[in-house]
Structure 1
Amino acid sequence: MAEPSKSPVTFDISRRNMLLGVVLGGASAIAFARQPAIANPKIPEKRFEEWVPKNFGAWDEVSQSGVILPPPDALSDRLYDNLITRVYVAPDLPPVMLLLAYNNAQDGVLQVHRPEFCYPVGGFQLTPTRDIMIEASNRSVPANFFTATAPNRVEQVAYFTRLGSAYPRKWSEQRIAVMRANLAGEVPDGMMMRVSVLGTDPREAQGLLTGFARQFIENSNPKMQHLLLGPDTRG
C-alpha cells in the first residue's frame, strides 16, 4: 500500500518550525557572544588588606571597629568580595573612620550599597546629600557628603563610589552606569570609599575628610589607588 503523501499544510508547518528554530538558535548564539564579560578578577582578602596603609602622613591606624557597617541581608556575602573598616588618629584631630567595599562584578542584581541606605537602617536621620569633590593624584573625584544623626551620635560622612570608569552620585546614576557597561559588553567592578568623623560641624568635617581621603589615596599601594580611582579616561 502506498504511503499517504504529506499535505501542503503539514509541510508548511514543518518548514516554518525549522526556520523558527534556525532563527532562535542564531539569536541565542549572538546573545551568548555579546554576553557581558567579567574583566576584573576577585582579589583575595589578605592581599586586599595588605594594600591598605596602616599609617600615612600624621595618621596611624588604631582600630578596626566602631564603623557603621552595611546591613546584613541575603546577598551580603555576594555584594562585597572585600570589606575593610579602619579607624585612624592624628595629633590634635578627631579620629576618622574608614570603610572600603569592593566587588569585582557589578551587574543588575549585585550592586554596592550606598550609605544613604545603610545609615537609616541603623536608626540615623540624614540631612540631604550634597555634592562635593575629592582631589587626589591629580584627579577630581565626584563625591557625596551628608550628616547622620542618632540619639547619641552625630556623624559627618563623605564617600564616593566607582563603577568601572564612572563615579555615580545617585542610585539612579549607579544603575545607568552598570547598564551602559553591560551594553558595551562589560561587567564593571565596583568600589566605595567612605570616611566619617563624629561631630556637629559639617564645614570643618568636610575639610578634614576630603584631606584625609586625599592623603589615604596618594599613600596607598598603587593597586589600591587603581581600585579607588579606576582607569584614567581624561585622554
Structure 2
Amino acid sequence: MSTLQRRALSLLLIMALAALLAWSVRPTVRLADQGATLDLETLVPHQFDGWELDERQSAAVVNPQAGELQSRIYQQVLARTYIQRSTGRSVMLSIAYGENQSRSNDLHVPDVCYPASGFRIEQSKQGTVRFAQNEIPVRRLIAQRLQRREPLTYWTIIGDQIATSATGAKLLALSYGLRGTVPDGMIVRVSSIGLADDEAFILQQEFVETLLGSLSAEGRKKLAGA
C-alpha cells in the first residue's frame, strides 16, 4: 500500500470515527416528555395579590420570525397585560415556550428580536430578581423605536437552568445534548411603556416577585428555576 493510499485510508477512518462519535452523543431523550405537560394558560393566574389581567389589551411577542418557522420554535406563547390595582400602572408579560432546543430551534432573545423589529437597544445590563432566598439572574434592556421607549426585563430557561444571553442559552443546550438530552426552553419577558426607566424596572421587579409568590413550588421551578 502506497503512502498516498495509507493517508487516504487514515482520513476515511478519522471521518468514520467522527461520524460515529456524533451519532453516539446525539440527543435522544426529550426533556419536554418527562413529567407533567406544561400549560402556560393555566400555569400563570389571571389575577394575584394586587394585579389583574387587563382584558382590553395583550402584550406583543416581538419576533421578526413568523409563520411556519415561528411555529416550529414556539409550541406555546402567552401574551398578557396586567394592571396593578393600587396604581393603575400596567406591565406586559410574554412567555414563549419551545419543546425542542436543538441548534435549529433555539429561542430568539430580545437582544436579537427587538433590533430585527426596528428597535435600538440603548442599554443592556445584568440584574437579579430576588424571591425568598433565591436570586434569579435576569437581563434588563431599554429598547427604543421612534416614540416608543420600552424598558424590559427578561430571562431564558433551558431545561431547568437560567441563561441571560443567547450564548449562555446555546451553551446550556449543548451541555444537555452531550448528556443525550434534548432540553426544552422558555423566554419570560416583562416590559412597561410610559414610565421613567428606573420606575419601570422597579415596577417590573415588583410584578415578577409577586407573580412568583403566587405560584406553586412546581410552577416557580417551571417559570424561573426557583
Query: What TM-score results when the alignment is normalised by the length of structure 2?
Result: 0.81
Paired residues in the alignment total 212
1:75 is the counterpart of 2:69: yes
SS of the residue 1:142 aligns to? strand
Structure 2 counterpart of 1:134, from 126, 129, 138: 129
**Structure 2 match to 1:216:** 211
Match of 2:81 among 79, 82, 87: 87
* 2:42 aligned residue: 50
Contact 1:34 1:185 in 2 (8 A): yes
Residue 229 to residue 65, structure 1, CA distance change in 2 (3 Å): closer
Give the TM-score normalised by the residue count of structure 1.
0.78
Gaps of 5+ in 2: 2-8
Give the corresponding residue for 1:5. none
Query: Quick check: 1:199 aligned with 2:194?
Result: yes
1:59 paired with 2:51, answer: yes
Secondary structure (helix, strand or coil) at the match of 2:135 reads: strand
Structure 1 distance, partners of 2:159, 2:61, is 25
* Counterpart-to-counterpart distance in 2, 1:138 and 1:93: 29
Moved over 6 A (4+): 42-45
Matched, 1:169 2:164: yes
The SS at the match of 2:82 is: strand
Report the Cα offset of residue 88 of structure 1: 0.4
Distance (Å, rounded) in 2 between the aligned partners of 1:196 and 1:31:
41
Residue 155 of structure 2: aligned partner: 160
Q: Judge conservation of contact 1:51–1:223 (CA < 8 Å) in 2.
A: no
Structure 1 equivalent of residue 5 of structure 2: none
Residue type of the partner of 1:84? L
- Indicate the structure (1 or 2) with the bigger Cα radius of gyration: 1
Structure 1 spans left out of the alignment, 5+ residues: 1-8, 10-16
Q: What is the alpha-carbon root mean square deviation over aligned residues?
A: 2.9
CA distance in 2, matches of 1:105, 1:133: 27
Following superposition, the deviation at residue 93 of structure 1 comes to 4.2
